Amino acid sequence: MRGPMGAWGVTEFLLRRIDHQLAGANWQRSGGKGAKPKPVELPQQQRTPKQKPVGADVAQRLRNLGLIPPGDTTT
């Protein structure tokens, strides 16, 4: 795997699944009291709140370069 998921191997994915299953089973045995457990986030899910999605302003950049006419709203 490449990118942020490349840091995780099969072992890490299996441990994540085991952890989530055990937390869910313990939550269920307690009668569902408290918040339902959430799985450990995958590397690709971890984002800072201020981080923009990649390519968010691509259309504006293309307009600035003159590759898209200024009034074109098809993008």
Nearest to 15 by CA among 46, 42, 50: 42
Residues of the chain with pLDDT under 50: none
* Entry field: residues in the chain: 75
Distances (CA, A) of 72 to 6, 65, 69: 39, 14, 5
Per-residue pLDDT at 22: 93
Q: Is the whole-model pTM more than 0.95?
A: no
Rounded Cα gap, residues 28 and 61, in angstroms: 51
Q: Domains of the chain: which residue ranges? A: 1-43
Rounded Cα gap, residues 60 and 75, in angstroms: 10
Per-residue pLDDT at 32: 84
